[in-house]
């Protein structure tokens, strides 16, 4: 290698060092260098926001993933992760061509319940992702169906519920768990789902319409009698261990989860 080439390499290295230093000094705009490629966090953020505003959700998701991978020590990582997870839900509900989904042509004799059972999904998700306003379907129509199984992980120490699609973290929710460590630990399954559930408490029946119904707007019951995931009339209590043992979510978020996960979904609860 001649002296001129060495000088060029040293000059490039010096420039890269200066760029990294300036990026660190700016604090809000870190720089990553990977295989000679210089990446600015601020540039990626701008691209991600632009893609999202244009409805290019797959591109926005890829950019937020790049941000998280390239700048894992940034103070904005949690914000990027939340944006990525919200995009996951938008894409799932939009019926977009996304990984782990398939196009299905409706056959004579099909019903939404039959299709949902075949693909281990929910009628609600099929309807939402295909913009169907009623259960009636016509043979020959093509619909998009999500095909990968979902699972749920509840971490009592952090009071979070993680919705996973295979090994991908799809979305993280803030929840409340049982006071005095009363939420059971183990692996369970969702055995029943109820919209606007009635609360059967000791000595009384509290209808769904009552403001005193602690179950909120949805119930997803475990194969352990009396325990499940439900909504709340006390959203201010989320993030704390205050329930009688169930997992409590905000009503909008439990309604979202209700659409996504079918009966039979595995729920793992850890301390």
Indicate which residues carry an active-site annotation: 230, 246
CA atoms within 13 Å, Cβ hemisphere of 113: 0
- Strands 218-222 and 247-248, sheet pairing: unpaired
* Structure tokens belonging to residue 238: 């989320």
- Helix, strand, coil percentages in the chain from 3-state DSSP, rounded to 5: 35, 25, 35
Residue 226 near residue 245 (C-beta atoms within 8 A): yes
User: Which residues in 87-208 belong to E strands, given as ranges?
Assistant: 101-105, 142-146, 150-155, 160-165, 168-174, 177-178, 186-195, 199-201, 204-206
Question: Which bin fits 239, alpha (ψ -120 to 50), beta or left (φ > 0)?
Answer: left
| Alpha-carbon distances, residue 101 vs 30, 72, 96, 172 (angstroms) | 36, 29, 9, 21
Residue 37 near residue 70 (C-beta atoms within 8 A): no
Q: Residue 38, exposed/middle/buried by CB under 10 A (0-12, 13-18, 19+)? A: middle
Task: Look at residues 259, 239, 261, 263 and name the one whose alpha carbon lies nearest to residue 249.
Answer: 239
Q: Round the CA-based radius of gyration of the chain to a whole number and report it.
A: 24
Residues in the chain: 271
231 secondary structure, DSSP code: -
């Amino acid at each position: 290698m001649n002296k001129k080439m060495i000088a060029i390499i040293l000059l490039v290295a010096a420039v890269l060092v200066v760029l990294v230093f300036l990026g660190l000094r700016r604090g809000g705009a870190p720089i990553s260098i990977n295989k000679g490629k210089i990446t600015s966090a601020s540039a990626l953020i701008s691209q991600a926001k632009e893609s999202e505003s244009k409805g290019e959700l797959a591109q926005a998701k890829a950019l937020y993933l790049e941000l998280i991978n390239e700048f894992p020590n940034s103070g904005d990582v949690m914000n990027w992760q939340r944006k990525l997870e919200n995009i996951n839900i938008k894409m799932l509900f939009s019926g977009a061509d996304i990984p782990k989904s398939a196009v299905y042509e409706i056959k004579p004799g099909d019903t939404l319940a039959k299709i949902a059972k075949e693909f281990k999904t929910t009628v609600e998700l099929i309807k939402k992702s295909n913009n169907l306003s009623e259960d009636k379907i016509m043979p020959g129509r093509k619909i998009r169906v999500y095909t990968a199984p979902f699972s749920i992980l509840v971490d009592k120490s952090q009071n979070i519920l993680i919705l996973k699609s295979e090994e991908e973290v799809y979305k993280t929710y803030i929840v409340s768990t049982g006071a005095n460590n009363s939420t059971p630990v183990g692996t369970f399954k969702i055995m029943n789902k109820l919209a606007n559930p009635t609360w059967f408490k000791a000595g009384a029946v509290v209808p769904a319409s009552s403001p005193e119904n602690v179950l909120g707007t949805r119930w997803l019951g475990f194969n352990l009698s009396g325990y499940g995931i439900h909504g709340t009339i006390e959203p201010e209590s989320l993030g704390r261990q205050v329930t009688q043992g169930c997992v409590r979510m905000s009503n909008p978020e439990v309604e979202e989860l209700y659409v996504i996960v079918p009966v039979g979904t595995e729920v793992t609860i850890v301390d």
